[in-house]
Structure 1
Amino acid sequence: MLDFDIILNAFVTLAVTIDPPGLAPIFLALTSGMNRTQRYSVALRSVAIAFGVLVAFALAGIVVLDTMGITIHAFRVAGGLLLFYIAIEMVFEKRQERHEKSSQTAITKDQIANIAAFPLAIPLIAGPGAISATILLATDLGHEWQPTMLLLGVIVLVLLLVLLAFVAAEFLDKYLGATGRTILTRLLGVLLAALAVQFVADGALALFAG
């Protein structure tokens, strides 16, 4: 039987790494121009995809990376570069320009699926930090069925918090207005760029050290 402190540590580690409250305003910026139904669809899809990714790495993460010859540090650098690209688009309103063009026509299921998969599910929710934390927790807890099921339960709980944060963000959008959304998008773009640089720097330092 696992100690409650170990389970609590796993929950805190994943919750802090994924940071549901911090993802909410980014979700709001990325889904600008969508109605409530479309936002809920993006939220559900992104959480479902992230769940699949984290479960896969919890069950066979080390094997997958070793088989492909990829280190978690290289994964962190790649994720950081992808995030930086998204951040540049947010700061210079390239993403907003696409939203304005597409607002004249209905937002398609493909657009919803694309945003949900990238960048929301990967690398924002199931990013390098969350994946590496999941692999480390799976290694620490062992590979017997009981600790594995408990880890999967922790993943579900944290992702439910992400979903709640996304739903709360949709209600926040009512009070921002067009100017508020523009300011928020650019501000978050700068913060996301800083986060991306940190990902790349941490990964690069670890790679050079290795």
Structure 2
Amino acid sequence: MIDLLATFIFFFAVIDPIGTVPVFIAVTKNYDEVQKRKIALFATLVSAAILVFFVVAGELILTAMGIPLSAFQIAGGIVLFLFALSMIFGESKPEEEVRMVKSHNDTAIFPLAVPSIAGPGAMLAAVLLTENARFNIWEQVQTVAMMLLVLAIVCVLMLCASFMHRIIGNGGASIISRVMGLILASVATTNTLSGLKAYFGL
């Protein structure tokens, strides 16, 4: 049995549902409410498909390439840590991705589904938290359920984006994104240490 709350918090940190709200508002500003709902649902479905693909095939691809999962765990932890640092000290997620929207005329796929929802951190998390050697099928199903729960929250927040944005504003989303970055940095450090322990057989 996995720690459902810890898994939920991990995915919540890497996906950052609240940080997606300003991105969604910016990318859908020229659409009516019906089209906004369609974009929100389609972006969520695309993100879910991408992350489930990494759950199912991520480890198989690594095995085929001869890369031990412990090495991927170390590299993944380092990448997640750098990603977390960018959330804390650099441009926050909403600031960076809203800027992407202003320079690209895309909707549900870019930058909403990728990289706002199913970003590099979420893809790495999907692989690391469903490692076959560490987790049985039932535990992996639980992990996927937590991941899909976070995606469902993303979808609900996008559907309520106008209301949410009036409450927290871009500044509020930026603050929350930085707090999520701090949590993610802690999780990333734990993953790197676990990978080092497994790699060197400690």
TM-score range, shorter chain: 0.5 to 0.7
TM-score where L is the length of structure 2: 0.68
**Percent identity (aligned):** 24
Structure 2 counterpart of 1:32, from 9, 22, 30? 22
User: Is the 2:21–2:157 Cα contact (8 Å) retained in structure 1?
Assistant: no
Q: How far does residue 28 in structure 1 lie from its aligned partner after superposition?
A: 2.2
SS in 2 for 1:111: helix
Aligned to 1:4: none
User: For residue 47 of structure 1, what is the amino acid of its counterpart?
Assistant: A
Instruction: Answer whether contact 1:81 1:196 (CA < 8 A) is retained.
Output: yes
- List gaps (5 residues or longer) in structure 1: 1-8, 142-150
* Distance in 2 of aligned mates of 1:42 and 1:134: 32
Output the CA distance in 1 between the equivalents of 2:133 and 2:22: 31
Residue deviations 1:137-171, cap 9 Å, x none? 14xx8xxxxxxxxx997676555423322234444
Q: Summarize the alignment of residues 5-20 of structure 1 with structure 2, pairs less than 5 Å apart.
A: 9=1, 13=2, 15=4, 18-19=7-8
Post-superposition offset of 1:203: 0.8
Structure 2 unmatched ranges of 5 or more = 26-35
**Residue-pair matches, total:** 182
Alignment of 1:32-111 (within 5 A): 32-35=22-25, 37=37, 39-56=40-57, 61=59, 64-94=61-91, 95-105=93-103, 107-108=105-106, 109-111=109-111
Distance 1:186 1:154 in 2: 27
From the CA coordinates, give the structure whose radius of gyration is larger: 1
Of 152, 157, 161, the residue aligned with 2:149 is 161
C-alpha separation in 2, matches of 1:74 and 1:181: 34
Deviation at 1:33, TM superposition (A): 2.6
Q: Cα 1:97–1:117, aligned 2, differ >3 Å: closer, same or farther?
A: closer
- The Cα offsets for residues 32-76 of structure 1, whole Å up to 9 and x where unpaired, read as 33226555444322211122222336xxx5x65444322222121
Deviations 1:56-105 (A, max 9, x none): 36xxx5x6544432222212112112212221221123345533533534
Aligned to 1:132: 131
Quote the RMSD (CA, aligned, Å). Answer: 3.6
- Give the match's secondary structure for 2:85: helix
Q: Of 152, 171, 174, which aligns to 1:179?
A: 171
Q: 1:165–1:127: structure 2 CA closer, same or farther, 3 Å change rule?
A: farther
Name the residue aligned to 1:118: 119
Decide whether the 8 Å contact of 1:15 with 1:158 is kept in 2: yes
Is the CA contact 1:50–1:122 (under 8 Å) kept in the aligned structure 2?
Answer: yes
Distance 1:91 1:136, change over 3 A: closer
